[in-house]
Homo-oligomer: A and B are copies of this chain.
Amino acid sequence: MATIRDVARRAGVSPATVSYVLNNSGPVRPETRERVLRAIAELGYHPHAGARQLKRRRSDTVGLILPTGERRLSDPFFLELIHALGDACADHQLDLLIATCRDPAADLRLIDRLYKGRRVDGFLLIDLQRQDPRIPHLRQAGIPFVAFGRVEGNGEFPWVDVDGAAGMREAVAYLVGKGHRRIAYLSPPLSFTFAYHRFRGYQQGLSEADLPLEEALVRITRLTMEGGYEATRALLSEGVPFTALIAATDLMALGAMRALHEAGRTPGQDVAVIGFDDIPMAAQAHPPLTTLRQPMDQIGKALIRTWLAAVNGESPSPTLIPPLLIRRESA
């Protein structure tokens, strides 16, 4: 495999000059640059990442840790996120290293190994818990990171999040505008930070519309289609009256719609349904699901931009991205 020396020899210059061309550092006469570039192309030369990393003390790699075990992600939303991150990384010539681990303790060990071994320059945390043990660990070890999502108490660290509260306020206002007064709400356990914020938004939305928060209309259930299905069946069988339903995630909304169908109530006609995320399946649902879109590209770009700042020793300010209400036929 060609090295920088080979290129230098071929172009009739020193390795230093090649390096200057490669990195646009140092002054190089245009025609020399030309010669060097030609040599690079002819040899199909690519700089050795390890050597470069060793000298520059940078690996240009983003670490992404996926939770495993029971917290293993199965929401298709995360696949979208990975894609968006990949694209955003490509924009900045970064690579994305994915690591999984078996238990929370291994999590922290893995973080140390990757960072101290300089395999990655910093981390992206997704799927935060309201109290996440990784955060204090990273902070006190001085490891740069950016979280997708916030945590309880909101210690000072950089994060990017979608404004779940704003989204839900908008959803409620939208439904109220259509005359709905009894709006059910389906949520996963509030220990999920995003669930907590979205639920707060629902509450705020109600109070802005001078509607009471009714316990019976709020259901906490599992973060799956099945969870949404069961909770809705419960609502129906208990005879709690409602004309609209908001689910904290599309997956749950999809489950809810199935329960409504089975009970002979057509979503979008008899009951308005709104979800959150805008996963690909949402548009294909019957009827197509009205939902709050998480603007993936924007999220990916914001995360990487913030990550770069963090890695460069800045303390980037958090970013709150507004979701987008996508009106379809379910509400």
Chain B residues near A102 (CB, 8 Å)? 87, 90
Interface residues of A in 117-137 (CB under 8 A from B): 117-119
Classify chain A's interface size. 35 or more
Chain B residues near A224 (CB, 8 Å)? 280, 284
Interface residues of A in 142-195 (CB under 8 A from B): none
Stretch among A7-15, A77-85, A268-276, A303-311 lining the B interface: A77-85
Q: Could you tell me if B95 and A96 are in contact, using CB atoms closer than 8 angstroms?
A: no
What separation, in Å, do the CA atoms of A94 and B54 have in the docked complex?
19
Interface residues of A in 32-71 (CB under 8 A from B): 44-54, 59, 61, 66, 68
A72 at the interface (CB under 8 A from B): yes
Chain B residues near A48 (CB, 8 Å)? 54, 117-118
Q: Which residue on B lies nearest to A65, using beta carbons?
A: B86
Chain B residues near A100 (CB, 8 Å)? 83, 86-87, 89-90
Chain A 300-329 against B: per-residue CB contact (8 Å), 1 yes, 0 no? 000000000000000000000000000000
Q: Could you tell me if B96 and A83 are in contact, using CB atoms closer than 8 angstroms?
A: no
Q: Could you tell me if B46 and A50 are in contact, using CB atoms closer than 8 angstroms?
A: no
Q: Which residue on B lies nearest to A67, using beta carbons?
A: B83
Chain B residues near A83 (CB, 8 Å)? 66, 68, 72-73, 100
Q: Which of B52, B59, B66, B87 lies in contact with A82, CB distance below 8 A?
A: B66
A98 at the interface (CB under 8 A from B): yes
Q: Which of B53, B79, B118, B286 lies in contact with A79, CB distance below 8 A?
A: B79
Q: Could you tell me if A98 and B101 are in contact, using CB atoms closer than 8 angstroms?
A: no
Chain B residues near A79 (CB, 8 Å)? 73-74, 76, 78-79
A258 at the interface (CB under 8 A from B): yes
Chain B residues near A261 (CB, 8 Å)? 261
A79 to chain B, nearest CB (A): 5
A6 at the interface (CB under 8 A from B): no
What separation, in Å, do the CA atoms of A1 and B113 have in the docked complex?
12
Closest 5 CB pairs of A and B: A86-B100, A50-B53, A46-B116, A226-B284, A50-B54
Extra contacts, 17 of them, besides A49-B50, A74-B80, A95-B114 (Cβ < 8 A), are A1-B116, A49-B53, A50-B54, A54-B54, A68-B83, A72-B83, A73-B79, A78-B79, A82-B82, A89-B100, A90-B101, A96-B98, A96-B99, A97-B98, A224-B280, A255-B284, A261-B261
